[in-house]
Structure 1
């Protein structure tokens, strides 16, 4: 049911909740020079300020930029931000990293390790992290691009402010809110090559104290290709061919694994937001929503016995959430609950599980003098995963856990923000997280300082350390794989309840300057180190170390274990904001970096008591990447926008290509150009042409995935 009626259903409504006051969308093309230069952010220090004053390396993608650039999804919008690596696997499906560290373990056999497992993504400060193996299932966000007021990015470790998993940085998606208008209605529809998108919102303010908004979103995208990469054959083939040597009925196996072969992404979501503010010192915000999606992407890959056949898998999920935020004088409380289902490898056994996540945070801001604050707080999180409903040993259907498992985390934290002088600011934060599994306490810290030489020049420095959380899959994995090989019929993969948690330490220097009334410069220089990595490696274990019942003979067993690999990265990010007048804005940006590995484990099938290690340059992360945003407001009715994204050629590695003989891992350098031309015949209505990758640069951006292609859409936006 892909048609226009579903697209029109998406014209329902859009969302505000926990953000700064929204300016009506009619004003997006009427922003003043001051507004274009003084971009707001809250995530850099958890207080409202401008990007110029922020103590950490950070960036805000504004609603104005999203709209004018024509970003067709939240993921694509991140290509407008410096220091973010965004690569497309197929139409609308992305892998996103902050400053790289991607595919850190290079030849690990697990495809999910190529994904970003270490950046914390939030919606209005609510984590939307996947606690199974880490990372973010971007397609499973309940909101879509029309719901966004702005996207705030903090580059570098940020766990002291936001908790575990903010290891390489934070992406905080701030949703829209009502502002002062009594009624808000927005509908947006785009239709074009391989892509159909619809969003809608309705908001109503009943009084100065109470308002609500509801929204709906829908995306349906086709793949750019219809073949799949065969690892044994090292070429792209019809999916039936993948199963010719591993299945008695290859056609049925292909249909089971790929029920919608031509579909890249299909998702819908609905959200509701209620805001109540009885007085200036008390406010309540309640958000609720649900989503459902089906996507093809690289995560687990398809195995035939003990052989990896290909990378693309079909994933399905649905979830429901509720989030309550309350501000009562100086006390801020936020709590959320998520209930969901994932099938991370459709047609495979095991692949399905149910999960719930509950978290609560309370902090109290104490003001000391005019500009000094100290904020202590506590937080609690419990995640529960079970695949018991999907396990049936009598039919040889097993899970990856085979029972219920939970991990809870208590934390205490304190942060200070003080101003020893008019020009000097110091922000410090420390956080201790106590995990139930592993039974350890981890400490994260952050010290940042800024010094304003004058109103036009600011220098800053930061030292931070952050760790990941504890993941269910890494801890409690329990999988038996039937290899079909008589001499070794079973392979075990198990978790480890005593893993050290991945850690990143960073040193950073920055300089910001207002070079003229309409020109800003921002430079970041950084050095960061990642260690305590873990991977599934061939292990020597005793029968009693395996989950019961204990086998008489130990099968070939792989286990999550820490490895001594360390990554060190040096880099610099430079960005400009040039606004010569209120008609033109240009924002170029680039990051140049170099990453090295030490003690890299080159063979994961070698027992851990006899490993082989090496030191080398890490070529999986682009050595440079960046882009530009260029907007021209020809008149109050006509707007032209060009934006680009580019990165250097690099290599992606895989276990099946340890000798480097296949050329698939050679990711060519790329330049993507986007264009959006909009016309507003009457104030509530805007029509537009939206071209993504208009030069049709079709090189693959990720190992074993589709070629990319240009997407050309026409659309309309209605604001009432």
Structure 2
């Protein structure tokens, strides 16, 4: 059994962050071993949500004027945030089925809390004439400003999963491995995105012929998705070394389709344009296949030929470029 604990305190943050891990193994017999681990770890501070200080101008459509209204936002990081923290528990079993065949199996559970996300607060200021009947009339001016502030949200993600690794030695020269993991993520605490009116102020001028109306609003950014993590990830590897000169290797990993999506909350001005503020990218199921051949010229020098992503161009990561095939030739020299 082993264990470790660490307490972090940063000079700019009033909070303390406790990280720990305890793990244990037990050998049942010469062919079977079980293990368990329990841990907690917090994300380290990052300049983006801690020190970001920027100005942003966004144009909102106005139903009152049929014109786009510029909104000047001040984007501010916060120093006293609680950082995302993951608490996890896993158990595993390793068994030697034959002298050349081993199986590893594990099940795991993890929980993430203290999510951080920017929230937009803004004020619409409308200046109107007041007619002889004392009612608001022609709009003279309309503008808006606001703040984007990083905040903690009462949101939790729970992940359950299981995985395996199977190793098989066909011979001393030929080895194979197959692995896979299935997981399911559930997010609790989400709410529908809404534009919440937090305050309204009416201010007539001294003469009583001009009315200034200020509407204060905020959004509700709790639309994280369970689809950002693929439900399955797995792969295989094959290694063949027929003699001291040649070595052949191929490996692949496979992931199920998933979705990267988020909402630019500073672009949400009303419930009608929520979908316009959504940024989404679907990642299809893919296999990344690689291969490498090595030829040993002598004890100090070898040459190799490598092919990466053999199956061709595709998108592997959200909001990133498509990845194409890559072929490399190299020489390695050991002195």
1:700 to 315, 318, 321: 315
What secondary structure does 2:48 align onto? helix
Match of 1:572 among 158, 162, 178: 162
Q: 1:506: Cα distance to partner?
A: 1.0
1:519, CA displacement in angstroms? 2.2
Partner of 1:476: 51
Aligned 1:654-669 pairs, distance under 5 A: 654-655=262-263, 659=275, 665-669=281-285
Distance in structure 1 (CA, Å) of the matches to 2:225 and 2:262: 16
Contact 1:598–1:615 (CA<8 Å) still a contact in 2? no
The answer (yes or no) to whether the contact 1:566–1:597 under 8 Å persists in 2 is yes
Partner of 2:268: none
CA deviation after TM superposition for structure 1 residue 611, in Å: 5.5
- 8 Å CA contact 2:72–2:144 kept in 1: the answer is no
Q: TM-score scaled to structure 2, two decimals? A: 0.75
- C-alpha distance after superposition, 1:423-450 (max 9, x if no partner): xxx2232222222222122222322221
Q: Distance in 2 between matches of 1:651 and 1:511?
A: 32
Q: Which residue of 2 aligns with 1:444?
A: 19
- Provide the aligned C-alpha RMSD in A: 3.1
Aligned CA distance change for structure 1 residues 653 and 683 (closer, same or farther; 3 Å): same
SS in structure 1 of the partner of residue 158 of structure 2: strand
Secondary structure at 2:297 match in 1? strand
Pair 472,705 (structure 1): closer, same or farther in 2 beyond 3 Å: closer
Q: Which residues of 2 match residues 214-229 of structure 1 at below 5 A?
A: none
| Match runs of 1:558-707 below 5 Å | 558-600=148-190, 603=193, 612=220, 618-655=226-263, 659=275, 665-696=281-312, 698-707=313-322
- Aligned pairs, how many? 283
Structure 1 unpaired stretches of 5+: 1-425, 542-552
- CA–CA distance in structure 1, aligned partners of residues 49 and 221 of structure 2: 23
Give runs of ≥4 in structure 1 deviating > 4 Å: 482-487, 604-617, 660-664
Change (3 A) 1:693 1:642: same
Verify the 8 A CA contact 1:538 1:607 in the aligned structure 2: no
Contact 2:193 2:222 in 1 (8 A): no
Identify, as 1 or 2, the structure richer in helix. Answer: 1
Q: Distance in 2 between matches of 1:515 and 1:668?
A: 36
Q: CA deviation at 1:512?
A: 1.1
Contact 1:563-1:601 at 8 Å conserved across structures = no
Residues 247-280 of structure 1, C-alpha deviations (whole Å, 9 max, x = no match): xxxxxxxxxxxxxxxxxxxxxxxxxxxxxxxxxx
SS in structure 1 of the partner of residue 39 of structure 2:
strand
Taking the aligned partners of 1:651 and 1:602, their CA distance within structure 2 comes to 19
Q: Which moved more, 1:660-669 or 1:703-712?
A: 660-669
Residue 452 of structure 1: how far off its partner (Å):
0.8
Asked whether the 8 Å contact 1:599–1:615 carries over to 2, the reply is: no
- Determine which structure has more spread, i.e. the larger CA radius of gyration: 2
Contact 1:598–1:616 (8 Å) recurs in 2 = no
Q: Is the 8 A contact 1:521 1:574 kept in 2?
A: yes
Q: Which has the higher strand share?
A: 2
User: Residue 714 of structure 1: which of 318, 329, 333 is its match?
Assistant: 329
Query: For 1:32-47, what aligned pairs fall within 5 Å after superposition?
Result: none
Counterpart of 1:666 in 2: which secondary structure? strand
1-side partners of 2:228 and 2:293: how far apart?
A: 36
Post-superposition offset of 1:604: 8.7
CA offsets, 1:654-713, max 9 Å, x none? 3269649999622110012111122223332222221111122x2212334322211122
Query: Conserved in 1, the CA contact under 8 Å of 2:13 and 2:81?
Result: yes
Higher relative contact order (CA 8 A, sep 6+): 1
Q: Name the SS for the 1:636 alignment partner.
A: coil
Using structure 1 for the length normalisation, give the TM-score.
0.36
Does 1:463 pair with 2:45? no
**Aligned CA distance change for structure 1 residues 565 and 430 (closer, same or farther; 3 Å):** same
1: CA distance between counterparts of 2:325 and 2:317?
17
